[in-house]
Structure 1
C-alpha cells in the first residue's frame, strides 16, 4: 500500500472500529460531476470477508438474546443520529453517485424514516446476514435489507458498491456511537471477490441483494455456486 493509498483508502468496519487492510488492488471513487478521485475503495477478498464474518459471529449470541423492542430502540437511535448528519450523508451520496442534491437528501430522509419505523417481519433472516447493494442507493439500499434482519436478531456484514462506499462506512460509525455492540454491523469493501468470500463463509446464513437486476443475477450465480441461500 502506497502513501497515496493510505491517504485516500476508505477503511472497512469490523468489530466496532475502522479496519485497514493490505488490499491487493483499489477502485478509484470518482465524483461523476468533476471526474476527481475522492477516495479509493480496497478490493478485498476471502481473508477480509472471513474477518468480518467472524466479528459478526462473536456478536451474534448476545445480540440475538436482546428483545425486539431493545433492537428497535437502537435502530431508532441510529435514525436520530443520521438525521443530525443528514447533510453530510447527502454530500457523500451526491459526491460518489452524481445524484442531484435534492435526490441525495431524499435518500437520506427515507433512510432516517426506515430506521425509525422498521417493524418485526416474520420472514426476516436471522443468524449472520450478508447484504450486497449497488450504487443506485448506497445508503437506503443497504438499510432496506439490513434493518429487518437486525430487528430479527441477525448480525450483518454490509458490502456496498466499490463506486460508492462512504455512506456505508459512515453509517457503521453511527451505529457504534448509538450503542450498537461491536460486531453487530460490519462493512466489507470490494467487488466480486468480496462477494465470493462472503458466500464461501459457512457461517453466513443468507446473502441479500438490493439494486440492479443484472448485477443481482451475477450475485445470485456466485451464491448458487457456493450453495448459499440468496434473496434479491
Structure 2
C-alpha cells in the first residue's frame, strides 16, 4: 500500500481529518508511489492556526537568533541537497542534474535571507524638528502563505519562505499535489535547524486548501506561482479578502535571433532553453523568432542538435526526462497535433520518441515546429512542454512588435553581436526579464524575479529587495521626550521649527 504524504504543523506530520487523498506517481514509470492527503477546510484552518500561534513568539525573536537558524538551515541544505534532488526527480521527472540545479538556485535565496538584518534596517533623523526624532522601521506581516507549482517543488517555494521567515513571519506552504514530498522534507530540515514549531507549516491539498488560504483572515499575504488563469483568480480572491498578493502567472517567452548572431551559440541556447526540464519552465523559450534569411540554417542546426539528446529516466544518464503526468503529456501532444493540422512543419517530432525508460512513463521528446503562424494555438497558448515554435520575420522591428503584442511579459531574449541593437531592445521590449545572448534570464537572488502584463498580478516581484518589502510593512515613529520646561495647551497645527 502506498504511503500517505501528510501535512506538517507543530514540527511534526499531521494526517488531517478529511480522509481524501490523491495519487502521486513516478513520471518515468507511471507507477503510483504515494498518496497525498487532500485537506478539508477544517484541516486547512488547523494548519493556519498553527502558524498564527507561532507568530508572536517568532516576531519577537531577535534578528540574531533568526539568522542563526537561517544559517543552520543553509548548511543542512548544502550538505543534503542530493537527497532533495532525488525526491524531485522521483516525483517530477526532471533529470537529477536539473533537480540539483533547482535546489542550488533556491539556496541562493536562503543565502540572501541570511543577510536580512541589513535589509531590515530602518532610518532615523535626529532633531527633525526641535527635540523631535523621526525613525522608520519594517515589521513582519503575520502568517503568510506560499502556493507553489509542480515544476519547481523546491526552488519556487524557496523564492519566498526564506525571506518571509527571516523577516519574522510564519509560513504555510501549499505545494502542488503532483509532487508534494519535497515540501515535507524541507519542513523536516527546518525543524532540524532549530526553527520553532509552527513557524513553517505544510498544507497539502487541492482547490479546497487554496480557497481557505485565500479567504481565511489569519493569512495576511499570499505568494503564488502558476498559470495565468489561476494567478488571476488567486489575486482577485485574495485581494478581495484584504490580503497582500503577488501572483506570478504564465508565459510565452520569445527569443529573437538576428542575422549577425553566432548561429551555433544561438542553436545551443535554443535547445537548452526550449527542452531543458522537458519545457516545463515558466522561463523556457517556446518561440524562436528568426529574423531575415537565417531561418533555414538555424532550424537545421537546432534539429541536428536534438539528435544527440538522451530522453529517459532522470536517474539514469539522460538529458531530458518525462512530463509530470500522462494528462499533461497528452495535452502537450494535442498542441503539436493542432499545429501540424494548421500547417506548421514538424521538423522534429517528439511524439515518436524512443525513451530509455519504462513503457509506462509519460514520454514526449523534443519537438521543433517551423513556419508557425501567430493565429495557431501552439503559438497563442502556454504549451508548457518540449515544443519550440519557429516564427519567421523580415526585420528587427517586426520581431519586436511580435513580442510586445503578446499578452504575456515574463521573459525574453535577443541574440545579436550588435550592442546598439541590444540596448535598444532592452529599452523597448515590454517584458519584465530580458536576456541579451542569455536564453533564460532568471535573475540572481539579490535582484527580483517577475514579469509584466498577464505574467504578474500585483506590483511586487519575488525575492531580492522586492521580496523583503512584500513580507514586511513600513512604520514611521515620531518621538519627543518631554522635559519639565514643556507646558501649556496649543491647539494650532504642529509645525517644524
Larger Cα-atom Rg: 2
Residue 94 of structure 2 corresponds to 99
Give secondary structure in 2 for the equivalent of 1:190: coil
Q: Which moved more, 1:96-105 or 1:68-77?
A: 68-77
Give the 5 Å matches for 1:27-176.
27-118=22-113, 119-120=115-116, 126-176=141-191
The separation in 1 between residues aligned to 2:180 and 2:18, in whole angstroms, is 15
Q: Encode CA deviations 1:42-95: one digit per residue, 9 max, x unaligned.
A: 111211111111111111111011223322221121121112221110011111
The separation in 2 between residues aligned to 1:63 and 1:227, in whole angstroms, is 23
How many positions carry a matched residue from both structures? 227
**8 Å contact 1:195–1:222 — kept in the other structure?**
no
Q: Which moved more, 1:191-200 or 1:207-216?
A: 207-216
Q: Encode CA deviations 1:27-56: one digit per residue, 9 max, x unaligned.
A: 211111111111111111211111111111
Normalised TM-score (structure 2): 0.44
The separation in 2 between residues aligned to 1:10 and 1:105, in whole angstroms, is 22
Q: Any unmatched runs of 5+ in structure 2?
A: 121-137, 248-497
* Consecutive aligned runs of 4 or more in structure 1 exceeding 6 Å deviation: none
Partner residue of 1:200 out of 210, 215, 236: 215
**8 Å contact 2:86–2:96 — kept in the other structure?**
yes
Give secondary structure in 1 for the equivalent of 2:182: helix
**8 Å contact 2:102–2:154 — kept in the other structure?**
yes
1:213 aligns with 2:208: no
User: 1:112: how far off?
Assistant: 2.6
User: 1:215: how far off?
Assistant: 3.2
Answer 1 or 2: which has greater helix percent.
Answer: 1
Answer 1 or 2: which has greater strand percent.
Answer: 2
Partner residue of 1:181 out of 185, 189, 196: 196
Q: Any unmatched runs of 5+ in structure 1?
A: none
The separation in 2 between residues aligned to 1:182 and 1:229, in whole angstroms, is 25
Which structure has the higher relative contact order (CA within 8 Å, separation 6+)? 1
**8 Å contact 1:124–1:148 — kept in the other structure?**
no
Give secondary structure in 2 for the equivalent of 1:54: helix
Normalised TM-score (structure 1): 0.90
What is the alpha-carbon root mean square deviation over aligned residues? 1.9
The separation in 1 between residues aligned to 2:158 and 2:140, in whole angstroms, is 14
Give secondary structure in 2 for the equivalent of 1:180: coil
The separation in 1 between residues aligned to 2:190 and 2:183, in whole angstroms, is 11
